[in-house]
Structure 1
Amino acid sequence: MQKGKVSVVVPIYKVEMYLNRCLDSIINQTYSDLEIILVDDGSPDSCGEIADDYQAEDDRIKVFHKKNGGLSDARNYGMKHVTSEYIMFVDSDDWLDLNMIELMVNNMVDYQADVVQSAFYYAHDDYLLYDTRSYPPEENVVVMEKKQLMHELVDNKRVKNFAWGKLYKTNLIKDIPFKKGVFFEDVFWAHKVMDRVNTYVLLNKPFYNYYQRDDSIVAAYSLKNLDFIRGLKERHQFIQHNYPELVNQSYRMLLKANLEHYYLLLLNRKKDSTGYNRNKIKNYIEKNHNQFIISARNEHQLYRQLMFFRIHPYLNLFYLAVRKSIRKVKIIPANKGLKRINL
């Protein structure tokens, strides 16, 4: 029985160490009816040549070489060449379990779904981490309708903003381009897609391996990371207009993001030497203080952080440092739920 071809779009840039692992996991899928679109986004290393070699060996592969334009531009370029009924995105340093696409297509057909999402591993070089809190393995399949889905997207626990790890009906997303020139492009994109979904299927078993590089988030931080807040603000406007029942939840996520990025800016003072971005965050929190108070009222740690921040931002930093120290000596238990699998 023909269930439909799947286009797999892989943007490629400076990943020559990981690209073979990624592409091998795609070409060896148990579901073989694939169109594999590799977009070499002007990569300065040998990625382009590696992609060409794969194309020469597998007629399902189409390679496109283009001038560097960033991840969004590469995904948009790949989408223009999709001819299949279904589409999925794979980041080129990640990899798939070999039966992932088959299982996702089967569930897409069985439930007449618009999108199917797999749980995922945080994949390190010698071990995997699996979030059993968000994806309890005993609850194999979860089917959601639009309102529950949007709640889950804003909550960002079970349904992530990530474009990868999901199988989409092509006609659902083909006219929704990724925003170019920003970091965290998925945050600007995902809510527009989910707003069109009638049936969403979540598979709690992990089939996608999300590779974690060793770069520290503090050391690698740049002002472009503030695009995450921009994306949440843009989504918040959408939520206010279309899903007013989720406004407080959206405010809560905005508060968390602003507090976190203020903290990261403090740790990277040289990158915000004038304090402009810290002041911008501080002013935003002050301006929306009443809404943030309401949204954080039932989340005690976040509420305390907001109170301390309002007294002085450094007081919140001190609170977080003390809490981290206490957790290290196990007076406060560490968060549980991440299952480790050694490789």
Structure 2
Amino acid sequence: MTHKRATLAQVAAQAGVSMATVSKVLNGRDDVAAATRIRVQAVIDEVGYEAPGRRREAPAGPRLIDFVCEELDSDYALEVLRGVVEAASEIDVDIVVSQARTDRVDSGAWARRLADAGRTGMVLITSRMTVAELAEFRRLGMPVVVVDPFSPIDEGFVSVGSTNWAGGRAATDHLADLGHRRIAYIGGPEIAECHVARLHGYLASLRAHGIEPRADYVIPGTFHTESGVAGMAALMDLEEPPTAIFAASDSIAVGVFEEAARRGLRIPEDLSVIGFDGTALGLRTIPPLTTVAQPLRDIGHAALRLVLEQSRDGLLDSHHMELATTLVPRASTDVPARG
């Protein structure tokens, strides 16, 4: 009996192999034993499995990729979009930009509409879509790449981001190497994977420098300016405020600058501040912001490439790609003031 919508997991289970092995057989890889290849191919033929990218006929004309983000005015999202557009302009791909909606009642209808419109795939930057919602796109054979996902996603989905743990470690190492011992961290939502990774990098650096972490120096929030204002206010009201702050995004760092100005504190003379992202925001602060730069345009390039690879070949061997971050020292960090 042929099943029209057999899944890769079903093929793997029936053949007694991993999903990665099934993917290799589908992609014609030569690193699979002949007997295993024959067994897997037999199951594929029996259940009628087709790789996701091959289930829909390719539309006539240029390929269309949807770029969906939560905030259209976000410096972070705009940099990733620039990377997607740069890559698309070289390979006859058109980009459709839209904003993730919070009032979407039927995500399945949305997925079907995009699939019926002949979209090749989607690059997604949002915390508002669940794994169940993403699964509807997979069921329809529409490739999706999630940029820096907020929550863990299973191996059936593809994501791309940066080395958040290493970036958090580098940011804190920079402050500790300058001589700071009272280093605070203002982060994003506690459920966000990137926040958790940056926080763990921060904690690892403190311990490596012999600095005891303090619970009152760790303040989660959002990746927005308002969170930097509120976090900075809470830290400065402590009996022993920090001499340096690692802000988990450049937007948070801008909020720290704003609250510091209200309190008459000078940066970096009274307080060193380092951000994370490497967006243009860091060049507009006074003084310019030291930051850990993510290769956001390269992330956009990679996201588009991964969408297109899925549309051609089905499931990929690797489901998550991390690009290296870079410390960018500027004038917002210095040695701590004496006393």
With the length of structure 2 as denominator, give the TM-score of the two structures. 0.24
**Whose Rg is larger?**
2
With the length of structure 1 as denominator, give the TM-score of the two structures. 0.24
